[in-house]
């Protein structure tokens, strides 16, 4: 529970940080923010009020390990247009990623078409986004037949389900693109055994497709990882990087299909969603069981975290956060960190084992392939919505000025 002093210290420290004219210590974050903004030719062409940041970082020292980072600067719009001038990018599936990546490709001026089930939810959404049936919106098979680069952005379960129909259409000279290593890495479970005579590449944005789109529109760009599963032409890596930029990445980090899928499944089950939700629930329940009101329990568990502390940790790091809070808060947080780490590390190890041995993949395929998965999912969402913590949260959010 944050003390008054803590909140005051935080507020004044935040203010200092935001208003300070003293150059901050040179960190990766500050290096990234030292950029010059110019209007990109692609944004000029598409009429989008977008700026492209010029950056000059290649070899970055990540805590003692040097890694090469690929950046958008190397692929200006003219180069992308030239590179893909003979390509038709057939983007299959129009969920969160299909929407974000597809619209960014279109705004970059590339020849992109969408392939989805006729009259499904995605078909309608694609039409709402300006894709025109018969022009750049087709059924899946027709889009694949027209495409030279097939971007498989179906749901992971659907990639497995549709593979027997899709595989024979992936003829020599086409390229197969994924945004997740899931299907080919766990081919024993998914059945996705890629043809041996085509390039198979991956660009995995580190965020929702909605963020892929919003960062592109802001002229920024999302961090993505890229990987090559199979290089037949000798150009697979270059193609992956170019596509990564074309779909809206600002920085691209090299990985393998295996590492991408292990870290992604692990992260979303852990700190990104599952783990953090479990921690919210545990903390909230104890506060409620000890007599605290719903609003107090929610504010001390979720609201202060998401509205104040987490964005500051994101912007400045944990050491900065400790330095910015009261001595009381700092002492307690530092003392309790190892206890939480010790309690949680075995859970994280169990989770990684289950990801690596394919158990989590099997669970996801079984659940998401069931004909009634949407109903089951909706039931679970309703249960979460009905939890007291999230009902209290709704009321707290309702008091925010923008929601009043
Ligand atoms: N979402 C993210 O934040 C995120 C981030 C990074 C990477 N990825 C990866 O990106 C890929 C796409 O994920 P997503 O979240 O954008 O999409 P998604 O919501 O998981 O998938 C939606 C698409 O799959 C189609 N679909 C589902 N079942 C189908 C079937 N049996 N036959 C044909 N189409 C079917 C849907 O069409 P209908 O509307 O017709 O049902 C829709 O177009 C996945 O590999 C995912 O792991 C996702």
Supply the DSSP string of 79-139, one letter for each residue.
HHHHHTTT--EEEE--SHHHHHHHHHHHHTT--EEEE--TTSHHHHHHHHTT--BTTTEE-
For residue 236, pLDDT beyond 50: yes
Angular region, 40: left φ>0, alpha ψ -120 to 50, beta rest: beta
Q: What is the pLDDT of residues 338-393, one digit of tens each?
A: 999 999 999 999 999 999 999 999 999 999 888 898 899 999 999 999 999 999 99
Task: Quote the DSSP letter at residue 23.
Answer: P
**What are the backbone dihedrals phi and psi of residue 290, each rounded to the nearest 5 degrees, phi first?**
-95, 15
* pLDDT value of residue 248: 98
Choice from 91, 96, 260 to test ligand 1 binding pocket (greatest atom count within 8 A of CB): 96
For residue 164, pLDDT beyond 70: yes
- The answer to whether 300 is a known ligand-binding residue is yes
Q: pLDDT class for 16, splitting at 50, 70, 90?
A: very low
CA of 152 to the centre of ligand 1 (A): 9
**Mean pLDDT within 204-230:** 96
Beta carbon of 224 within 6 Å of any ligand 1 atom? no
Task: Answer yes or no: 277 catalytic.
Answer: no
Q: Which of helix, strand or coil describes residue 25? A: coil
Q: Please give the share of the chain, as a percent, with pLDDT higher than 70.
A: 86
Count the alpha carbons within 13 Å of 142 in the hemisphere toward its beta carbon.
Answer: 13
List the structure tokens of 46.
């598409």
Average pLDDT, the chain: 87
Site of tokens 């952005």: 153
Q: What is the pLDDT of residues 319-352, one digit of tens each?
A: 999 999 999 999 999 999 999 999 999 999 999 9
Q: What is the pLDDT of residues 94-112, one digit of tens each?
A: 999 999 999 999 999 999 9
* pLDDT value of residue 68: 87
- The answer to whether 82 is a known ligand-binding residue is no
For residue 60, the cross-strand partners are 67
Q: What is the pLDDT of residues 189-202, one digit of tens each?
A: 999 999 999 999 99
* pLDDT value of residue 7: 40
Beta carbon of 116 within 6 Å of any ligand 1 atom? yes
* pLDDT value of residue 119: 81
- pTM for this one? 0.83
**Mean pLDDT within 215-232:** 96
Q: Please give the share of the chain, as a percent, with pLDDT higher than 90.
A: 79
């Amino acid at each position: 529970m944050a003390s008054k002093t803590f909140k005051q210290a935080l507020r004044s420290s935040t203010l200092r940080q935001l208003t300070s004219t003293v150059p901050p210590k040179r960190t990766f974050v500050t290096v990234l923010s030292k950029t010059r903004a110019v209007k990109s030719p692609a944004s000029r062409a598409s009429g989008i009020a977008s700026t492209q940041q010029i950056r000059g970082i290649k070899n970055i020292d990540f805590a003692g390990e040097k890694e090469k980072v690929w950046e958008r600067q190397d692929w200006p719009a003219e180069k992308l247009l030239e590179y893909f001038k003979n390509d038709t990018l057939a983007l299959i599936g129009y969920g969160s990623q299909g929407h974000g990546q597809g619209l960014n490709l279109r705004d970059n001026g590339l020849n992109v078409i969408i392939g989805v089930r006729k009259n499904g939810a995605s078909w309608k959404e694609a039409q709402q986004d300006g894709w025109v049936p018969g022009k750049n919106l087709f059924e899946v098979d027709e889009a694949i037949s027209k495409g030279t680069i097939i971007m498989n952005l179906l749901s992971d379960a659907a990639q497995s389900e549709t593979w027997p129909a899709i595989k024979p259409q992936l003829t020599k000279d086409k390229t197969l693109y994924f945004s997740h290593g899931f299907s080919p890495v766990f081919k024993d479970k998914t059945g996705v055994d890629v043809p041996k005579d085509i390039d198979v590449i991956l660009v995995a944005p580190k965020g929702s497709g909605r963020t892929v789109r919003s960062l592109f529109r802001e002229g920024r760009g999302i961090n993505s990882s890229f990987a090559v599963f199979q290089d037949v032409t000798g150009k697979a890596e270059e193609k992956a990087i170019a596509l990564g930029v074309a779909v809206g990445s600002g920085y691209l980090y090299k990985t393998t299909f295996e590492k991408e899928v292990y870290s992604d499944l692990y992260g979303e089950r852990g700190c990104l969603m599952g783990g953090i939700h479990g921690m919210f629930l545990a903390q909230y329940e104890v506060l409620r069981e000890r007599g605290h009101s719903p609003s107090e329990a929610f504010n001390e568990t979720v609201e202060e975290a998401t509205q104040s502390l987490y964005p500051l940790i994101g912007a400045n790091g944990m050491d900065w956060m400790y330095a910015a809070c009261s001595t009381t808060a700092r002492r307690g947080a530092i003392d309790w960190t190892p206890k939480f780490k010790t309690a949680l590390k075995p859970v994280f190890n169990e989770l990684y084992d289950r990801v690596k041995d394919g158990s989590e993949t099997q669970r996801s395929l079984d659940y998401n392939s069931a004909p009634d998965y949407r109903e089951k999912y909706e039931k679970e969402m309703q249960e979460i919505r009905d939890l007291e913590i999230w009902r209290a949260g709704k009321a707290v959010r309702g008091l925010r000025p923008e929601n009043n």
